[in-house]
Structure 1
């Protein structure tokens, strides 16, 4: 069901709230990233008529507004989101549930609860944004902000066992493709997302192959 006029107005308020938090982000999680996730969400929604479009779009818009990668005090950031939703008369529970259980790290390391179709759509849209051409730029932007090196053949990709290793262990940006980004295609839920992912995944593989070839002066 499409959002009604009241819900559309609330989605606009939610978008403005998100922009106030993320517009200045320099790690690849700014409001332009969110807008692309929203666009992908709408593509998937066209093929998923049972989904609640308001909950899906609100969750997609807010999904990075208290991400622990971006905020020192995640608890306070989350409270700010919940207080805002209550203030505009939106039940925060289904939105917060999706955000809390959609991340790759939460799912990979056994911390995520099961998502229904609403959460699966948001999860797919966000994961599609993590693969492909723009995703390559985002990966290097995040790495630059956190002073990671691009590539070192002596540093091998890790078998990640927990979130602490994932967040804090030594890695290179190229290794991040092997540790996470190349695995995303096979983690998607909806057929629409799986179709979109094919070319994006191929492009990333082509990029990494060319990067390593040039690094080794083979190209």
Structure 2
């Protein structure tokens, strides 16, 4: 068994059955998204780095480790060292894991390398569209968030600290993160694939407000900015 297959097995055993939308199937989708983006990228890409980073990017997300942003890179590093992976590859993979996450609407999250851009795009594609909608409500349920509250307006978080401490609703999450992702994709292939998924979210939100009689709400008014 090679390092990719061993890593798949390691991550699957650790995350299978996880109920917040950060489970093995999320990892598997991000992995396959990454391979697609590699194929659609004209530049030279270190495929091994992309594969390992996509498989390990959520091995210990800060949201489930008491806010510890070093937990993921640390566990990934220990695992790759146990497989005797080249230290340069380990460093590259861990840098991607450290930098990949969304940190607030007002916080820039540039990736240092093309490999990082590909993995970040692959992860963000899984955060939008039909799957992204499903994952939003899975995580909201886990957090005990309100589904929707017309009196709570979305916030434009200007720091990672504010984003981490947010008291929000599942519907607000679309405005505070998901609807922003289309314009923050890195690669031409990622941008192209994000378009359809973004439009699906807009149509879902429009129908949600229509069915609930909130067509005149601030949320529906804000939605016009993302069409």
| SS of equivalent to 1:69 | helix
Query: TM-score, with normalisation over the residues of structure 1?
Result: 0.89
Q: How many residues align?
A: 210
Asked if the contact 1:11–1:57 (Cα under 8 Å) also holds between the matched residues in 2, the reply is: yes
Across the aligned residues of Structure 1 and Structure 2, the Cα RMSD in angstroms comes to: 1.9
1:84 equivalent among 79, 84, 93: 79
Q: Which runs of 5+ in 1 are unaligned?
A: 1-7
- Displacement of 1:115 in angstroms is 1.8
2:194 equivalent among 185, 190, 197: 197
- Displacement of 1:167 in angstroms is 2.2
* Separation in 2, partners of 1:63, 1:107: 21
Which moved further from structure 2: 94-103 or 71-80?
Answer: 71-80
1:155 equivalent among 152, 155, 158: 152
Q: 1:179 to 1:217 in 2, by over 3 A?
A: closer
Equivalent residue, structure 1, for 2:24? 31
Alignment of 1:39-188 (within 5 A): 39-48=32-41, 49-72=43-66, 74=68, 75=70, 78-90=73-85, 91=87, 92-105=90-103, 108-110=106-108, 112=109, 114-188=111-185
Query: TM-score, with normalisation over the residues of structure 2?
Result: 0.86
Q: 1:126 to 1:180 in 2, by over 3 A?
A: same
* Separation in 2, partners of 1:205, 1:174: 12
Equivalent residue, structure 1, for 2:14? 21
Q: 1:217 to 1:161 in 2, by over 3 A?
A: closer
Q: Which runs of 5+ in 2 are unaligned?
A: 216-227
